[in-house]
Amino acid sequence: MQQTEKIELLGLLPHELTDALQPLGVPKFRAAQLFRWMHRQKVADFDQMTDLSKQFRADLQQQFYINRPNIAQRLASAIDDTVKYLCRLSDGNCVEAVRMVYRHGVTACISTQVGCRMGCKFCASAPLGLVRNLTAAEMLGQIDLMDAEFPADQAVTSIVLMGIGEPLDNYDQVLRFLRLLSCKEGRAMSLRHVTLSTCGLVPMIDRLAEENLPLTLSVSLHAPDNASRSALMPVNRKYPLEELLAACGRYFRKTGRRLSFEYALIRGENDSRRDAQRLADCLKPVFPGMRPHVNLIPVNPVGENGFQAGSAKQFMQYLSEVGVNATLRRTLGDDIKAACGQLRRNAMEDDSHESRE
Ligand code: SAH
């Protein structure tokens, strides 16, 4: 039987797994056992599920499969514990994931799409466009492959959806991933430890607000006015700043959770005192009476785009003068170019060189 005709199991919620196993005629608790093997022990091979009968394992082998990516390339930082993975998916496509060690735990930065169609001018993934959405199993699999390399007490404790792709452009699979992640029969991770980063797809922000999940929503702002934001991020032409900020306000009122804002500092583009003032004017109405919070990221130059990082220290000073809190994103794994998208980009360039030779 061809693999494509088999049913993938890692992406199924517990009740769906029970339904999928129905034709095999096994008792219901077998589905629960299988779920635990996949999501707690993170076993990829049915033969390692030693408390399942031989017959059951043979049936599973024949009709089902578990679709986890494997490691195509691993880059470990020599200056901190950051490890960057190029993950190969079953169809040969690759995405990136990064494991970062902080004092309070281990964070996985994972991808949600192969490529992206949002076209942000500073981003390494934009020029290559969108190839396809990742499945929930492929998102979980990125975390599993990291955990498989470390002892259990160094397992991933928080997750940021800040790798390749726009999570809200792959809404259904991302939601499925979040449900699987927080499922009490599986990893049972609290969604308080998850941050979803978006370039600002307004209708999807409203839809996410309705789900009432305790995750942190982070909005990639990067510019404080429509003209400069549209020049950097084409999505702004469809959902301009005033609509985006209104949606952020609705999200906050509906969920009670404060959003964070990302701001990639680009020298001469968005780093002046006037930009800081306009940023404050944008953000203050979103959370009346509270100091807004911005995460500053010195822009990572990509390819030939000519962008250079602005001075974070200077911009932070400007922001504090206008009443906005800011943190500078700690740059981990500087030596391995942990900036997302660049590893896949390089791998694809290598491939195209090879095929030309
Ligand atoms: N699509 C989501 C997740 C993308 S990556 C989003 O737009 O939020 C996570 C963050 O990295 C985003 O804020 C993104 O704008 C930023 N980013 C992308 N390329 C960058 C670069 N070259 N330098 C600095 N930040 C970058």
Return per-residue pLDDT of the chain as tens, 357 residues: 444 589 999 999 999 999 999 999 989 999 999 999 999 988 889 999 999 999 999 999 999 999 999 999 999 988 888 999 999 999 999 999 999 999 899 999 999 999 999 999 999 899 889 999 999 999 999 999 999 999 999 999 999 999 999 999 999 999 999 999 999 999 999 999 999 999 999 999 999 999 989 999 999 999 999 999 999 999 999 999 999 999 999 999 999 999 999 999 999 999 999 999 999 999 999 988 889 999 999 898 877 778 999 999 999 999 999 999 999 876 666 667 655 566 666 666 655 544 333
Residue 47: CA count within 13 A, CB half-sphere: 1
Q: What is the dihedral of CA 10, 14, 16, 17, to 10 degrees?
A: 60
Residue 44: CB atoms within 10 A of its CB come to 18
Please state, as a whole number, how many other Cβ atoms lie within 10 Å of the Cβ of residue 152. Answer: 6
CA 316 to chain centre: 26
Could you tell me whether strands 293-298 and 325-328 are parallel, antiparallel, or unpaired per DSSP bridges?
Answer: parallel
Task: Give the three-state DSSP class for 130.
Answer: strand
Copy the structure tokens of residue 156: 């991933």
Best residue among 116, 197, 236 to mutate for probing ligand 1's pocket (most ligand atoms within 8 Å of CB) is: 197
Residue of 194, 220, 248 to mutate, ligand 1, most atoms within 8 A of C-beta: 220
Distance CA 267, CA 222 (A): 12
Q: Distance, CA 264 to ligand 1 centroid (Å)? A: 8
The predicted pLDDT at position 15 comes to 96
Strands (DSSP E) contained in the chain are 7-8, 64-65, 70-76, 83-88, 94-102, 105-109, 113-115, 130-133, 158-161, 194-198, 216-220, 260-265, 293-298, 325-328
Partners of 263 in the β-ladder: 296
What integer pLDDT is reported at residue 43 of this predicted model?
87
Contact assessment for residue 287 and residue 324, using Cβ atoms and an 8 Å cutoff:
no
Interatomic CA distance for residues 269 and 306, integer angstroms: 11
Q: How many angstroms separate the alpha carbon of residue 310 from the centre of ligand 1?
A: 16
169 alpha carbon to ligand 1 midpoint, in Å?
A: 15
* Ligand 1 binding pocket, CB closer than 6 Å: 120, 122-123, 162, 166, 197-199, 220, 262, 264, 297, 299-300, 302, 339-340
Q: Whose CA is nearest to atom 11 of ligand 1?
A: 162
Please tell me the distance from the alpha carbon of residue 158 to that of residue 163, in angstroms, as a whole number. Answer: 14
Cα 313 to averaged position of ligand 1 atoms, centre (Å)? 20
Which atom belonging to ligand 1 lies closest to the Cα atom of 302? 22
Nearest atom, ligand 1, residue 298 CA: 24
Ligand 1: residue of 130, 162, 196 to mutate (most ligand atoms within 8 A of CB) is 162
14 contact partners, CB below 8 Å, separation of at least 6: 31, 32, 35, 183, 185
Q: Which atom of ligand 1 is nearest to the CA of 120?
A: 15
- Say how many Å lie between the CA of residue 220 and the centre of ligand 1: 7
The residues carrying an active-site annotation are: 96, 340
Query: For residues 208 and 228, is the Cβ–Cβ distance under 8 A?
Result: no
Q: How far is the CA of 283 from the centre of ligand 1 (A)?
A: 19
CB 326 within 8 A of CB 294: yes
